[in-house]
Structure 1
Amino acid sequence: MSLHADRLAQLRTRLAVIGLDGFIVPLTDEHMSEYVGDYAQRLGWLTGFGGSAGSAVVLADRAAIFTDGRYTLQVREQVAADDWDYVGVPQGSLAGWLAVHAPEGGRIGYDPWLHTRTQVQDMADALCARGAILVAVAENPVDAVWTDRPQPSPAPLVVQDDALAGATSAEKRARIADWLVEQRADAVVLSALDSIAWALNIRGGDVAHTPVALSYAVVHASGETDFYVAPSKLTDAVRQHLGNAVRLHDRADFDTGLRGFAGKRIVADPERAVAAIAQALEAGGATVLTLRDPVVLAKAIKNPVELAGHRAASLRDGAAMVRFLRWVEEECPGGGQTELSAAAQLLACRQATGRLRDTSFATISATGAHGASPHYHVTEESNAPIVPGQLFLIDSGGQYDDGTTDITRVMPIGDPTPEMRDRFTRVLKGHIGLATAVFPDGTLGGHIDALARRPLWEAGLDYAHGTGHGVGAYLSVHEGPQRIAAPNYPGGAAMEPLRAGMLLSNEPGYYKAGEYGIRIENLVLVEPCDIPGADRAMLGFETLTLCPIERTLIDAALLTDAERAWVDAYHAQVAQALGPDLAEDDRAWLHAKCAPL
C-alpha cells in the first residue's frame, strides 16, 4: 500500500470509530487563507496534491478531489486515480458530488473552523436530498491520524513602519470605527490574516511567502481593539507599537471572547470568517451582521506611500530579473541546468538586492511539458533538465518590505518553433489588449477578461485560468476583492468594480499539454484616464512591472502598428529605468533585448 493510500485508510478507520460516514477536507486554515502554514496542509498530507487550491471528500467506499483548471494535469500526476475521483470545478462542485454519492441517511463530518457558513449551508442542502446530515466535529479527524503534524509557526511579530504603510494603525482603526458607526454595528471580527496585518501595521512569518501572523482581531466602534495572538509572538517593540488601545489576548481564548457580546451587533465577513465564528457569536447572544470586512477594500486601494514603495520594489525586482534572464540565455542551452538550479539562481539574484524578505509564492520554474501546468511546483522528484528545443517558463515574485512583486517570463532554449512564436505572440497581443484598455469607472473585472483572450480565441485557443488577480502591499500576492476573470473560469466571475489605486496582474497564457506553456505577466495599476471630450469618468492601466519581453519569441508580422509601438515604448521605458542599476555587461544585454522591433 502506498503512503497516501495508507493515510486514506487510517482516516476511514478513524471516521468509523467516531460514527461518521464521510468527511470533508478543504485546503485552507481557520482564516480562510489561500496559502496556509504547514500545520494546515491537511489536503496535501492526505492525498499528495501540492497545489494551492482544492478540496476533497472521503466516504467509506469512495473519495473525490476537487481542483480547478490550473491543476488539471498536476492533480493527475500527484494523486492516485485508484483511490480518488478527479472532479473539475467550476464544472462540478463538492456539494453536487455529495448530492449524488453521499450514502442515504449518512453522517458527513466537517470542521466548522475550515468552512464559511455559506459553504456549510450548501453542503447541508446537498446532503438533505440524500436524507443525510452534515455534522460539525470538535476535533478534526485528519489531525487525529496525522501523528507527525507540524506545530504552528513560532515566528515573532514585527512592526511595519508607518513610513512604509502610509498611515498609522490608529488612523486605520479610526476609519474602521467610523464605518462601524455608519453600519450601526458595535464591532467587527477581523479573521483574514492580511486584514489584521494591514489594520495593525504588523507583519509575521507564520505562512510561507505571505508575511502574516496567526491571529484574530475584534475592532470596536470606539476604535479600541482586542487582538488575539500567541503571547510568545509579542516583542517589546510590538507591544509599544500597538499601544494601550489594543488589548492583548492569547489566541487560544478567541472562541471564549466571541461569546461575550450578548445584545451586540457584530460584523463577520461571510466570505472570510469561518462558520465557527458566527456560531460562537450567536451562542453568546450577539446578532451577526454579514457584511464584508471593511479592511478588504481599504487595503486594495493603495495609498501614495504604498504605491511609491511598489514602484521602488518593481525597479529592484526588475533589475534582478534581468540578471537572471541573461543567465538563462547564456547558461541553459549548453546543458547542466535544471528547473531547481534555475529557481535557485533567481533567488540568489533577488537576495543580492539586500532587501528580499521572502519569495511571494513558490517559484514556478517549468521547462518543456511542465510549463503546461500553470501552477507547476518543481520538487526533487519532478526536477527536469533544461535542454534545447524547449520553452522555459519562470513565474515568480519577491516580498520586499516596501512591496510585493509577481512576474512571468518565457525564454526559448535554443531556437523556438514557428508554432511557439505564433502562440507567444497571440498571448502578447492579449496582454497588450488588456494593458491598453480604457473602460468606464465602475467596470467589473469580469467585463474586460475577454480583451486578453480575443487573439487566442481567433485561433481556436484559450487558457483555463483567470487573467488577473489583486496584489497586496508587502502582503498577499493574491489579494481580493479585485480580479479579472469571466464566470466560466476558475474562481467564478470577478464582480468587483475596478477602482483607481488597485494593483492587479495582467497574465494571459497558452498551454499545450505535453509540450510547453506560455504566460506573460506584469503588474498594473488602475488609474484615472483623462480623455478629452469624455462625458463620464474613465479608467485605464499603468504597467508597473519592468522587465524585457523576449524578442526572439515575437512574430512582429502578427502585431498591429499600435501593438508594435506599445512593445517598443515599453522596452524603451524598461531600458531607461533599469539600466542605471545594472553592471555594464548586464546593461548591454538589456539594451539589446529592448531594441525596437
Structure 2
Amino acid sequence: MNAKSTTAILSKLRALMKNTKYVCEPLQAYIVPTGDAHQSEYVADSDKRRDYISGFTGSAGTAIVTDSKAALWTDGRYFLQAEKQLDTNWILMKDGIPDTPTQAEWLTKTLPIGGRVGIDPFMLSVEKWKPLHKSLKANGYILVPVDQNLVDVIWNDQPEPPNNPLIILPVEYTGLSWQEKVKKVQNKLLEKNCHAFVLTALDEIAWLFNLRGSDIIYNPVFFSYTVITRDKVHLFIDDTKLQNGVSEHLKLNDSALQNGTSIEKHEYNTIKDFLTNLQTTTDKKIWISEKSSFALHSAIPKTKRNHDPSPVALFKAIKNKTEIEGMKNAQIKDAVALCEFFCWLEKQVPSGDITEITAANRLEQFRREQADFVSLSFDTISSSGSNGAIIHYKPTEESDKVITTDQIYLCDSGAQYKNGTTDTTRTVHLGVPTKYQQECFTRVLKGHISLATAVFPNGVKGHMLDTLARSSLWNAGLDYLHGTGHGVGHFLNVHEGPCGISHRVSLTDVALQECMILSDEPGFYQDGEFGIRIESLILVQKADTKYNFRKKGFLTFETITPVPIQTKMIDPSLLTEQEINWLNDFHSFCQQVVGDEMEKQGRKEARKWLINATKPIG
C-alpha cells in the first residue's frame, strides 16, 4: 500500500484552476468528491477522479486542492489506509474527530477573502451543495459550478466509461413487473400534484425496470436516467444497452401500449437539456430529490421543484415476499460457500502457504459453484493480524500477509446472486486466542446479539438503536469508528438507503419498517494488532409483544445469515443466559438450513465442519 507521487498531477491541476479556457475566473480551490454524476457510493474506473489526484483508493472521501495545499477528508473506516496511501503533498482530515475542521471551515481559514471554490456540478448532490454554498457565502467566498471537469482534462490515461450489456430479471425473481412499479410512482405523482419525477440513482433505475448491469464493479447497475410523467416514461440510455431482449422487455417497439407504460428512449447525455425544456411545458412541479446533482437541479426553476425524497428508494428498501424469499435463499447458498471456505482454511493454514489474497480467491471459487452466482458484491476484506485493524482493507501484492495460527483473521465478503445480495463478516482464530482477544470478541458479540434481539416501536429510526450494539464495548472503554448497519439491496447495491443504523444522525434516514433488510455489524479494532467484526443480515419483522402502547405496533429482527460464529473466540463467562441461548439457537438454525443444503449438494466434509462449529456452549 505504497503512497502515489502526486506532485506533477497537482501542479497540472493548479495550472488549470487559473486557465480561462476552462474557468471564467481563476479559482483559489477545486473540490474533487468521490462520487459520479449519479452520486453513487462506488464508482466506475472512469469516475475515480479523487483516486487519481490523491492516490487514496477508499470508497469515501473528498479532496480539496488550493494554490499551495491539498487536503483529503475521509471517515474512520479509512484513517489507517489514507495514512499509508497519501504522499507528503496531502493533509489527512479525519472526519468525525472533534478537532477536525469541516471542508467549509478549512477553506475559509485557508483562502483569501473572496476566494472562488470550483466543482463539477454533476459531482455534488444538492443536499451537499446547499450547506457548503451557504457556509462559504456567509464568510465571503463563492462556490462556482465548473462545466468542464478539470481532472478529466489532465487525466491522460482515463478509462472509457463502461457500457456493458444488461440482465433481465423475470417476475419470478422480482415479484412485480416494471409496469406495476412505474404505476406506483405515477400514483405518487398524483398524490403530490406533480407533473414529472426525475430518477437519477442507478440502483433505483435498475430496480424499477427489473434490469441489472455491470457498469460499476460489484454493483449490478447501469448508466441511465429516467423521467416519469403521468402518461409516459422517458429513459436516457445508450443504444448498445438495448440488446439481448432488453428492447422487448421494455416494449420499446410496441405501439399498442396504453398511456402510462409506454417508454420513450433518449440519449444518455441529453438529460439536462430535456429537463430544461420539460419545465417550460407545464405549470406543475417537477419532483427531483435533493440527492440528485446540482447540475440537474439547476435546470429546473426553484419555483417548479419538489424536493421530497425519492419514493423509489423506499419502495426498493421494503422488500416484497418474493424478494425476501430470494434474499433468504441467497444467504443459504452463500453460507454453504463460507462454511466450505472456513473448513478449507482450517486445514490449509498450518502449512504456511495461504495468504490473504489466495484465501480471498479460494472463497470466490467456492461462491462460483453456487446456483445463480453473478459476482462478488464488493472487494473481499481478507485480513490477517494488523491488516484487520484497517477497517476497509483490501489485500494487495504489497500488503499481502500469510494467514497464520497465531493471529486473528477477519473476512468480510459478499456476493451477488440473481435472487439476492449477501454481506457477511466472520472473525476467527486458527490457533489459540489471547484472553484480551476473547474479551474484545465477546463484547462485539454481545452488541451483535443485543441489536439482533431488539424490540422497538414503529417509527423508530436506526440511529436510536445504535447504542445497543456499542454498550458492552463502552462499558470496557472500547468502541469502533464505523456505522453499525446499512440497508442491503435485492441483487443490487450491497449498501442501500434510505435506512441505516449509525451513531451519526442523518436527516434523510427513514424509520425502520417491516420487510427492510439491514446489516448488524459491530466491531473493534486494535491498531497495529488485529480487527474484529461480526456481521449478519437482519430482516425487520413484526414483534409479538405482551402490550401494544397506544396501538403503535412493535418490530424486531430476524437474523437471516446462517453462518456460524466461532465459539473458540468467546469467553462464555461474559455472556448472559439469554445470550448463550440466542447463540445456541442461532447455531441450531445454521446447522439445519445450511446442513440440509449441503446434503443436497453432496458436500459431506463441509457438513462435518458445520456440525462441529455449531455445537452448543454453556
Q: TM-score, normalising length from structure 2?
A: 0.93
Tell me, yes or no, if structure 1 residue 593 matches structure 2 residue 593.
no
Corresponding residue for residue 87 of structure 1: 93
Tell me, yes or no, if structure 1 residue 11 matches structure 2 residue 13.
yes
Per-residue CA deviation, residues 100-152 of structure 1 (Å, 9 max, x unaligned), is: 21232222211000112232232223333553322211110100000110111
Among 491, 498, 501, the alignment partner of 1:474 is 491
Which shifted more, 335-344 or 325-334? 325-334
Tell me, yes or no, if structure 1 residue 521 matches structure 2 residue 535.
yes
Q: Between the two proteins, what is the percent identity of the paired residues?
A: 40
Residue type of the alignment partner of 2:28: D
Corresponding residue for residue 339 of structure 1: 356
Per-residue CA deviation, residues 469-503 of structure 1 (Å, 9 max, x unaligned), is: 00000001000011011227xxx578421100000
Residue type of the alignment partner of 2:327: H
Residue type of the alignment partner of 1:384: K
Aligned counterparts of 1:493 and 1:279: Cα–Cα separation in 2: 23
Residue type of the alignment partner of 1:355: D
Report the number of matched residues.
589
Residue type of the alignment partner of 1:218: V
Per-residue CA deviation, residues 213-235 of structure 1 (Å, 9 max, x unaligned), is: 0000001123x210001111111
Among 241, 251, 270, the alignment partner of 2:290 is 270
Aligned counterparts of 1:494 and 1:249: Cα–Cα separation in 2: 31
Aligned counterparts of 1:179 and 1:153: Cα–Cα separation in 2: 33
Tell me, yes or no, if structure 1 residue 534 matches structure 2 residue 548.
yes
Which shifted more, 439-448 or 509-518? 439-448
Asked whether the equivalents of residues 193 and 284 of structure 2 are also in contact (C-alpha less than 8 Å), the reply is: no
Corresponding residue for residue 265 of structure 2: 248
Aligned counterparts of 2:559 and 2:371: Cα–Cα separation in 1: 25
Q: Would the alpha carbon gap of residues 107 and 494 (structure 1) be closer, same or farther in structure 2, given more than 3 Å must change?
A: closer
Corresponding residue for residue 311 of structure 2: 294
Aligned counterparts of 1:493 and 1:373: Cα–Cα separation in 2: 29
Among 510, 513, 520, the alignment partner of 1:506 is 520
Corresponding residue for residue 116 of structure 2: 107
Q: Would the alpha carbon gap of residues 286 and 254 (structure 1) be closer, same or farther in structure 2, given more than 3 Å must change?
A: farther
Secondary structure of the structure 2 residue equivalent to 1:527 = strand
Aligned counterparts of 2:59 and 2:370: Cα–Cα separation in 1: 28
Aligned counterparts of 1:48 and 1:362: Cα–Cα separation in 2: 18
Aligned counterparts of 1:102 and 1:397: Cα–Cα separation in 2: 44
Secondary structure of the structure 2 residue equivalent to 1:270 = coil
Tell me, yes or no, if structure 1 residue 584 matches structure 2 residue 593.
no
Aligned counterparts of 1:201 and 1:355: Cα–Cα separation in 2: 16
Corresponding residue for residue 447 of structure 1: 464
Map 1:89-488 onto structure 2 (within 5 A): 89-91=95-97, 92-222=101-231, 224-235=232-243, 237-244=245-252, 245-261=262-278, 262=280, 263-271=283-291, 273-282=292-301, 287-487=304-504
Secondary structure of the structure 2 residue equivalent to 1:16 = coil
Asked whether the equivalents of residues 29 and 40 of structure 1 are also in contact (C-alpha less than 8 Å), the reply is: yes
Alpha-carbon distance, 1:2 to partner:
5.8
Secondary structure of the structure 2 residue equivalent to 1:7 = helix
Residue type of the alignment partner of 2:132: M
Secondary structure of the structure 2 residue equivalent to 1:213 = coil
Which shifted more, 51-60 or 151-160? 151-160
Corresponding residue for residue 69 of structure 1: 76
Secondary structure of the structure 2 residue equivalent to 1:281 = coil
Per-residue CA deviation, residues 410-458 of structure 1 (Å, 9 max, x unaligned), is: 1113111111111001100110001111111111101111011111011
Asked whether the equivalents of residues 108 and 141 of structure 2 are also in contact (C-alpha less than 8 Å), the reply is: no
Asked whether the equivalents of residues 356 and 398 of structure 1 are also in contact (C-alpha less than 8 Å), the reply is: yes
Alpha-carbon distance, 1:157 to partner:
2.0
Asked whether the equivalents of residues 124 and 293 of structure 2 are also in contact (C-alpha less than 8 Å), the reply is: yes
Q: Would the alpha carbon gap of residues 184 and 57 (structure 1) be closer, same or farther in structure 2, given more than 3 Å must change?
A: same
Aligned counterparts of 1:160 and 1:23: Cα–Cα separation in 2: 42
Corresponding residue for residue 586 of structure 2: 570
Asked whether the equivalents of residues 269 and 291 of structure 1 are also in contact (C-alpha less than 8 Å), the reply is: yes
Residue type of the alignment partner of 1:334: S
Alpha-carbon distance, 1:99 to partner:
2.1
Aligned counterparts of 1:99 and 1:93: Cα–Cα separation in 2: 10
Alpha-carbon distance, 1:96 to partner:
2.2
Asked whether the equivalents of residues 202 and 221 of structure 2 are also in contact (C-alpha less than 8 Å), the reply is: yes
Q: Would the alpha carbon gap of residues 118 and 441 (structure 1) be closer, same or farther in structure 2, given more than 3 Å must change?
A: closer
Structure 2, unpaired ranges of 5+:
21-25, 253-261
Residue type of the alignment partner of 1:15: M
Aligned counterparts of 2:568 and 2:508: Cα–Cα separation in 1: 34
Residue type of the alignment partner of 2:247: R
Corresponding residue for residue 557 of structure 1: 573
What is the RMSD of the two structures over their aligned residues, measured on CA atoms?
1.5
Residue type of the alignment partner of 1:65: L
Structure 1, unpaired ranges of 5+:
none
Q: Would the alpha carbon gap of residues 390 and 2 (structure 1) be closer, same or farther in structure 2, given more than 3 Å must change?
A: closer
Aligned counterparts of 1:6 and 1:300: Cα–Cα separation in 2: 44
Asked whether the equivalents of residues 329 and 411 of structure 1 are also in contact (C-alpha less than 8 Å), the reply is: no
Alpha-carbon distance, 1:384 to partner:
1.5
Aligned counterparts of 2:516 and 2:38: Cα–Cα separation in 1: 23
Which shifted more, 249-258 or 141-150? 249-258
Asked whether the equivalents of residues 300 and 479 of structure 1 are also in contact (C-alpha less than 8 Å), the reply is: yes
Aligned counterparts of 2:163 and 2:508: Cα–Cα separation in 1: 36
Corresponding residue for residue 32 of structure 1: 39
Residue type of the alignment partner of 1:79: L
Per-residue CA deviation, residues 354-398 of structure 1 (Å, 9 max, x unaligned), is: 421111111111111111111111112221121232101000100
Secondary structure of the structure 2 residue equivalent to 1:9 = helix
Aligned counterparts of 1:345 and 1:405: Cα–Cα separation in 2: 17
Residue type of the alignment partner of 1:590: L
Corresponding residue for residue 55 of structure 1: 62
Residue type of the alignment partner of 1:574: C
Q: Would the alpha carbon gap of residues 348 and 63 (structure 1) be closer, same or farther in structure 2, given more than 3 Å must change?
A: same
Aligned counterparts of 1:188 and 1:132: Cα–Cα separation in 2: 33
Residue type of the alignment partner of 1:595: K
